[in-house]
């Protein structure tokens, strides 16, 4: 991606007695030239490694074949639709303007108020491409109503108003008790690649082919083998679009905090609560996905798609040929996401060289989607068990449930020439969240993102007997049901939601505890009457692991896709249980624990030396 920017900012401040008024303007011109071309080398997705070997060996034996002896789970190809296969450059440009004003004043002794208002207006240049065939089609919105897409229309210019109010109150007038807080709407930029997705995925610059369960795309080493020879508008396209009412991200955020100087050892205690609510959050829906045609039977009665594309072989507006839309992800807004955090902190301000801090934070963040950089991937990889165009409000991938820190340090200058400092930083936190998802596209909507149903007991489990590669005997349905039931029982999260669906990012990875140690030695030198410093520093990262090799080691998820969806029996989902391995005796080894110890660079101690010269 090429990126260029121009920025101009000017502020004006006026003092009027108890009021300090600040006003200003900010203008930015942002220009992007992106070339994002995934899948241009062809993507072959096989159901097993054995299937790949079969397909590859068949090519060696018969390079001119037109069909594969096995069925591919999925084939995808993205190709340039420009003459001569030219590079599909995706330009976008936005003029981002903002004006603001703020008044800071003291209505009474010790109370300071800050009131402000900001207005931002983004203006996109006309760099989109028109696809008349797509513009003439009818799609649907998340409610199932008719919906049209204009591939050329980038987000319209809309004024975004951001009012805010803050206060700081010195209650006793001696800075021993301070109450502070505020509330307001805050506007931010979107990730601009979200917009360039539309510039690039419109069926004008590139064509896109995606075929499931096919034998018509046998493996070929030549990446251009299936690229159409014609440079006309492709007959198969993937669309990324922006809803006409889309607005830049806005969040309403409020906080309240109390800082109190405590009567012990000069400690300062802080309590703080922050709440944020989406005003214009980000979401995606696939406008080319029809409403579900049916549903599963039994305890897992989730919706099911037997057809997942609305616009298939639609006659072109020119009267020649047809166009198939593989998907049409639309960037839109939602106001359903929110987050909150509560923090408590004790701090010992620096005193005779010693300083210390201890804090704990509890967080809770929910949203409907964790968008990435690709429109299709953002929608397709959003874990769901209901309608993917109306996802539930679930845990955000950025939800940090628990975090505690302790920081200690001491610095001493001596002999007029030296200073030594030691410090330690300790942290304990949850390592993150994850989702339990089935393998394969269970509900048929086109995404491999289906959250599992957690059976109440083995009577609700339907497995198929099979013989894993290398196994000496079949892995029976009864064995799989027993092993899966045992796995659920040992998993605190799964055992607590029996008879229900897993949440997106519902499972927590356990706490990890790590500490870092530092030692700094300063050597002072007088250079032309000024003190310069030669500083030597030693850092031991994850120092606990140096003392005990089991300390400071994190956890990883053993298997987040435990169930391999295989089809239906009497309209009830049927599975194979994914296994850990097959041992040397041919015995199946199932997963028995949710987590295993990780073995990354972060899990072992590291020592770092540094030397720095400081000019004063």
Highest averaged pLDDT of the listed ranges 153-162, 365-374, 473-482: 473-482
Q: Tens digits of per-residue pLDDT, 114-139? A: 999 999 999 999 888 999 999 999 99
pLDDT confidence tier of residue 231, bands split at 50, 70 and 90: low
Q: Tens digits of per-residue pLDDT, 402-440? A: 999 999 999 999 998 999 999 999 999 999 999 999 999
Q: Tens digits of per-residue pLDDT, 459-508? A: 999 999 999 999 999 999 999 999 999 999 999 999 999 999 999 999 99
276 has a pLDDT exceeding 90: yes
Give the residue ranges of DSSP H helices in 414-561: 477-490, 492-495, 543-547
pLDDT confidence tier of residue 519, bands split at 50, 70 and 90: very high
Q: Tens digits of per-residue pLDDT, 43-69? A: 999 988 889 999 999 999 999 999 999
Assigned token pair, 51: 């299937």
Residue 54, CA distances (Å) to 41, 48, 58, 217, 219 in order: 21, 10, 6, 14, 10
4 has a pLDDT exceeding 70: no
Task: State residue 550's pLDDT score.
Answer: 94
pLDDT confidence tier of residue 203, bands split at 50, 70 and 90: confident
- Closest by Cα among 454, 440, 537, 532 to 73: 440
| DSSP code per residue over 103-124 | EEEEEETTEEEEEEEEEEEEEE
Angle at 172 between CA 170 and CA 173, to 5 degrees: 60
Task: State residue 195's pLDDT score.
Answer: 86
Q: Tens digits of per-residue pLDDT, 578-605? A: 999 999 999 999 999 999 999 999 999 9
- Extract the runs of DSSP E, i.e. beta strands, from 263-351: 268-286, 294-295, 303-304, 314-315, 322-334, 338-351
Summarize the confidence of residues 349-375 as an average pLDDT: 93
Task: State residue 3's pLDDT score.
Answer: 60
For residues 299 and 333, the answer to whether their CB atoms sit within 8 Å is: no
CA distance 540 to 535: 17
Assigned token pair, 486: 């045992």
């Amino acid at each position: 991606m090429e990126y260029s920017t121009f920025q101009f900012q000017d502020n004006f401040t006026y003092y009027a007695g108890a009021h300090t008024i600040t006003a200003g303007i900010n203008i930015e011109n942002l220009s992007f030239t992106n070339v994002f071309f995934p899948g241009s080398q062809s993507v072959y997705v096989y159901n097993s490694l054995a299937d790949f070997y079969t397909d590859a060996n068949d090519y060696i034996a018969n390079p001119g074949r037109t069909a594969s002896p096995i069925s591919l789970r999925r084939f995808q190809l993205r190709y340039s639709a420009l003459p001569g296969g030219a590079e599909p450059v995706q330009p976008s440009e936005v003029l981002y303007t903002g004006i603001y004003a703020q008044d800071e004043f003291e209505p009474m002794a010790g109370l300071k108020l800050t009131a402000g208002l900001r207005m931002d207006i983004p203006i996109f240049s006309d760099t989109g491409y028109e696809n008349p065939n797509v513009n003439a089609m009818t799609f649907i919105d998340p409610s199932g109503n008719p919906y049209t897409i204009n591939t050329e229309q980038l987000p319209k210019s809309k004024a975004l108003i951001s009012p805010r109010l803050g206060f700081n109150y010195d209650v006793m007038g001696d800075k021993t008790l301070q109450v502070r807080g505020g509330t307001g709407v805050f506007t931010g930029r979107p990730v601009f690649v979200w917009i360039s997705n539309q510039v690039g995925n419109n069926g004008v610059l590139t064509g896109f082919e995606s075929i499931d369960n096919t034998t018509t795309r046998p493996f070929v080493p030549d990446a251009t083998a299936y690229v159409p020879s014609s440079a006309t508008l492709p007959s198969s396209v993937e669309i990324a679009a922006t809803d006409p009412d889309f607005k830049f991200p806005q969040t309403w955020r409020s906080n309240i905090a109390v800082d109190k100087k405590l009567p012990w050892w000069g400690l300062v205690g802080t309590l703080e609560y922050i709440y944020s609510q989406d005003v214009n959050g980000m979401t995606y829906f696939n406008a080319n996905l029809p409403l579900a045609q049916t549903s599963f039977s039994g305890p897992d009665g989730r919706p099911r798609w037997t057809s997942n594309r609305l616009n298939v072989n639609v006659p072109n507006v020119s009267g020649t040929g047809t166009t198939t839309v593989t998907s049409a992800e639309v960037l839109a807004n939602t106001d359903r996401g929110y987050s909150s955090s509560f923090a408590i902190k004790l701090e010992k301000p620096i005193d005779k060289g010693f300083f210390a801090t201890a804090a704990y934070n509890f967080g809770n963040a929910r949203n409907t989607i964790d968008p990435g950089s690709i429109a299709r991937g953002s929608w397709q990889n959003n874990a769901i068990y209901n309608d993917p165009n109306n996802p539930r409000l679930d845990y955000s991938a950025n939800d940090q449930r628990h975090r505690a820190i302790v920081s200690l340090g001491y610095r001493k200058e001596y002999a007029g020439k030296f200073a030594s400092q030691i410090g330690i930083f300790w942290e304990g936190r949850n390592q993150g969240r994850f989702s339990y998802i089935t393998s394969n596209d269970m509900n048929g909507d086109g995404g491999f993102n289906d959250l599992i149903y957690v059976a109440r007991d083995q009577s609700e489990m339907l497995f198929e007997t099979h013989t894993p590669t290398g196994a000496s005997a079949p892995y029976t349905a009864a064995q799989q049901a027993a092993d899966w039931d045992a796995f659920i029982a040992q998993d605190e999260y799964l055992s607590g939601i029996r008879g229900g669906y897993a949440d997106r990012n519902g499972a927590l990875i356990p706490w990890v505890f790590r500490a870092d140690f530092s030692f700094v030695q300063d050597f002072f030198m007088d250079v032309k009457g000024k003190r310069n410093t030669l500083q030597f520093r030693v850092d031991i990262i994850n120092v606990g692991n140096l003392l005990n090799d089991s300390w400071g080691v994190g956890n990883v998820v053993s298997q987040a896709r435990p169930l391999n969806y295989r089809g239906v029996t009497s309209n009830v989902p049927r599975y194979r249980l994914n296994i850990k391995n097959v041992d040397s005796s041919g015995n199946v080894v199932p997963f028995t624990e949710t987590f295993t110890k990780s073995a990354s660079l972060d899990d072992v101690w590291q020592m770092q030396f540094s030397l720095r010269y400081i000019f004063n």
